[in-house]
Chain A
Amino acid sequence: MMDITQNYFEFLALPVTYQLDLQALSERSRELQKTLHPDRFSHLSDRERRLSVQYTAYLNEAVATLKNPLSRAQYLLKLEGIDTFSESQVQLDPMFLMQQMELRESLEDIASASDPDADIERLRQTVEQEMKSLREQFDSYYQQSTPSAHEAAAVCVRKMQFIDKLGREIEVLEDQLFDE
């Protein structure tokens, strides 16, 4: 029933760019929530409420996708016809994979370390640094806007996925350490 053909950027009236103004994103999101949220339709008919749930769900999905630097990058590539959301197997250069294995080993060592908190903090900083540099690389390739540059940008995204996963595993480990 909901018929939205606009992409997330258009829907939120934001420029299609990787260097998104997050402040503007949350302002637009708030403005639209005030118009679309089901609570605005609570005393109206079922149909209005159902429609508003669909629109608000689309809005929330749009905001969540654009807010996160990784999914924002993936979404931009998707608009260029490259789908990195549902890839199951990817090829990455051996250097990168080696480095990933080392990072993973240091993650595994943390549980038995003498000062796990400090090790976690160090690893987290490494991950953040790595992510930051990949984001910059992505943006510069993306801005070149040629098919080969888009492919190179896609490689950055695949690397970011690895790093992102590692970041989440650090969080899981942190929870486990806290729960003990």
Chain B
Amino acid sequence: MALLQIAEPGQSPEPHKRKLAVGIDLGTTNSLVAAVRSGESTTLSDEGGSHLLPSVVRYTEQGVVVGQAALAKASVDPFNTIVSVKRLMGRGITDLKGLQGEAVYRFSEREGGMPYLQTVAGDKSPVEISAEILKTLKARARATLEGELEGAVITVPAYFDDAQRQATKDAAQLAGIKVLRLLNEPTAAAVAYGLDQAAEGVIAVYDLGGGTFDISILRLNKGVFEVLATGGDSALGGDDFDLALAGWFLDQLGGKEVVAGESRYLTEKARWVKEQLTDHESVTVDLDHAGQRISLDVSRELFDSLVDSLISKTIRACRRSLRDAGVELDEVQDVVMVGGSTRVPAVRARVEQFFQRAPRIDIDPDRVVAVGAAIQADVLAGNKPDSEMLLLDVLPLSLGLETMGGLAEKVIHRNSSIPVARAQEFTTYQDGQTAMMIHVVQGERELVSDCRSLAQFVLRGIPPMAAGAAKIRVTFQVDADGLLGVSAKELSTGVESEIQVKPSYGLDDNEIADMLKASYSFAEEDMVLRNLREQQVEADRLLSSLEQAMQADGQALLTAEELDHLREQMAILQTLRDGSDAGLIEQGVKVLSQASDFFAARRMDQSIKNALKGHSIDEIEGNS
């Protein structure tokens, strides 16, 4: 079985040649880092032996504290202690009004509507706060693995939209981590299970975390994990269970207004009760309120009734995903549980009832995502050249454009396999119109106002024509991380406009560069050196992949002339690379890239032919 070969230690490169790559589960409540060591993927612990890092960041005048020590201060210092920052990622200030429980923070609005949280250390964006968590995990990995990281696979909820994904990638960049891939959490979990069980067939992954819910339906076949459909709610999780119970506490206490610290105190108590109810039928909780101590009994039955409608929401999403996947209930061979909130007995019971089979819980639901991510990181870093493993994902939410009347026209439908590219043509609606606003949205609803606005840009320079005469082609391209790029072109004149979609509520590249500069770990000199190093790495990459390609296919696919020309160009880049001008190296990489594009394309065509070798042309023409 091909899957098992992946773990054979004999196939790994020499230890000193192995590239260090980790999987990071950046969770709402807790975060983890895992790595493949001696052929096995395990989570890494801190000096104290704990694997889970509470996703809590506290800003003090002395500096930043992350994890358990920050969590301990959450109710006494609520404004400077940020919990569940994942729920704020990629969101605008207006979105947050709809989220419960976040009201404790003081937001300051800036240009673009991105929320900044006011802390004693100044205003902080959710991206910066997440970066602090990532830095802590990175430091843990470096200490444990004793070396520099090549990169990381960072997991995101499958149902994260483009803005939320981009924000996560920005946070990694800010933390100085190279993202090998953004991987969907349920897919990562499937990898962890799939490798263990060498499974084949259809599986469902039910992932209920602290702040997000995902359901994914996957088909496993010979090392390929193909996501058929995904669904969920990026604002529904165990936190909401806590809030529901805290709301009940408040009712029992007389429904009085509470101060910021107290509402967090109540949700912390609620979480404790929820966790106790996993193993006990009922629990008594003492609450300090208005100078008094009040004791309340909470039965599992009462708790279940409080969260019942939340669980029903997740079951509806399961039903819809099965339908989208074109899979019948009885085809599902396994249901995998992921996320700490799947420990709630009522959740397990409802999932079992719906899928008509007991869900799998053999891998710790808190760790399974990080474990799977590390397995893919190891493959992507190039440590497993013979690996057959391949993860194929889908777009979770439809992408579209605003058309006349505030309607959203879908360009790429949800659950399309990614990467995907699609073009759509639009026209002008007024005589002599010379510019066109392109508004990119994501979501399933008909009205633009009900969808998430991703980006707006203007295509200018359309020659004046009669209404409806201009032809504007808008092309959407989504990469393997689920990130979108959009370009627009007027076809008769070739006027072009292109953007990598930077979400309306995200940071732009300059802001990130500024933040990197401002952070004390990179002095000015470091930045220059860092940039040079990066360009050299890219040049080395291009040179070595070209060298390999020429060794393999140079004779077969290139003429003697072409070969000579490429050799010459490679020598030039090599000279530039050994110099110290980052700008020149960057230029050189571009030039050599372009000069060898045709060769790369020929090789790609060649490999397609090889992949389908054995399916002869006779077969193609046989039936037609």
Contact = CB atoms under 8 A, between A and B. Distances in A.
Q: Tell whether A pairs with B.
A: yes
Interface of A: 1-3, 9-17, 28, 30-40, 42-48, 51-58, 60-61, 63-64, 171, 175, 178-179
B422 interface: yes
B618 to A, nearest CB: 10
10 A-B pairs closest in CB distance? A43-B382, A15-B623, A13-B615, A57-B421, A45-B542, A13-B612, A42-B380, A60-B417, A35-B611, A16-B624
Interface in B357-406: 376, 379-382, 388, 390-392
Contact of A31 (B316, B323, B612): B612
A30 B226 CA distance: 9
Interface stretch (B23-31, B32-40, B70-78, B597-605): B597-605
Nearest to B485: A53
Contacts of B224: 30, 33-34
15 contacts: A3-B601, A15-B621, A33-B392, A35-B608, A39-B181, A39-B376, A39-B379, A42-B181, A42-B380, A43-B380, A43-B381, A45-B538, A48-B600, A53-B479, A61-B422
B545 A45 contact: yes
A60 B420 contact: yes
A35 B597 contact: no
A34 B390 CA distance: 7
A33 B624 CA distance: 25
B541 A44 contact: yes
Contact of A56 (B381, B419, B538, B541): B419
Nearest to B542: A45
B15 interface: no
Interface string B309-331: 00000001001100100000000
Interface residues of B, number: 52
Contacts of A40: 390
B610 A35 contact: yes
Given A15-B624, A38-B480, A44 B545 contact: yes
B479 A38 contact: yes
B611 A34 contact: yes
Contacts of A178: 316, 319-320
A120 B158 CA distance: 30
A64 B417 contact: yes
A104 B17 CA distance: 65
Interface of B: 180-181, 221-222, 224, 226, 316, 319-320, 323, 376, 379-382, 388, 390-392, 416-422, 477, 479-480, 538, 541-542, 545-546, 593, 596-597, 600-601, 604, 607-608, 610-612, 615, 619-624
Contact of B620 (A13, A46, A56): A13
A55 to B, nearest CB: 6
Contacts of B416: 60, 64
A80 to B, nearest CB: 12
A35 B416 CA distance: 20
A31 to B, nearest CB: 5
A13 B538 CA distance: 36
B323 A171 contact: yes
Contacts of A14: 620
Given A37-B480, A39-B480, A51 B417 contact: no
B597 to A, nearest CB: 6
Contacts of B382: 42-43
A9 B619 CA distance: 12
A62 B569 CA distance: 36
A179 B316 contact: yes
Contacts of B226: 30
A55 B316 CA distance: 36
A51 B605 CA distance: 11
A108 to B, nearest CB: 17
Given A32-B608, A48-B545, A17 B418 contact: no
Nearest to B418: A60
A58 B422 CA distance: 9
Given A35-B610, A39-B480, A42-B381, 11 more contacts: A28-B615, A33-B224, A39-B181, A42-B380, A45-B542, A46-B538, A46-B542, A47-B593, A58-B421, A60-B418, A60-B419
Nearest to B480: A38
A42 B597 CA distance: 17
B70 to A, nearest CB: 34
Nearest to A145: B624
Contacts of A56: 419, 480
A61 B316 contact: no
A51 B480 contact: no
Contact of A61 (B391, B420, B596): B420
A24 B105 CA distance: 55
A39 B388 contact: no
Given A16-B624, A38-B480, A179-B316, A51 B419 contact: no
Contacts of B601: 1-3, 51
Nearest to A30: B224
B390 A37 contact: yes
B316 A46 contact: no
Contacts of A58: 421
Nearest to A16: B624
A35 B607 contact: yes
Nearest to B477: A57
Given A15-B624, A42-B181, A46-B538, A36 B420 contact: no
A37 B481 CA distance: 12
A43 B596 CA distance: 18
Nearest to A2: B601
A97 to B, nearest CB: 24
Nearest to A15: B623
B419 A53 contact: yes
A36 B600 contact: no
A40 B379 CA distance: 9
Nearest to A42: B380
A13 B610 CA distance: 11
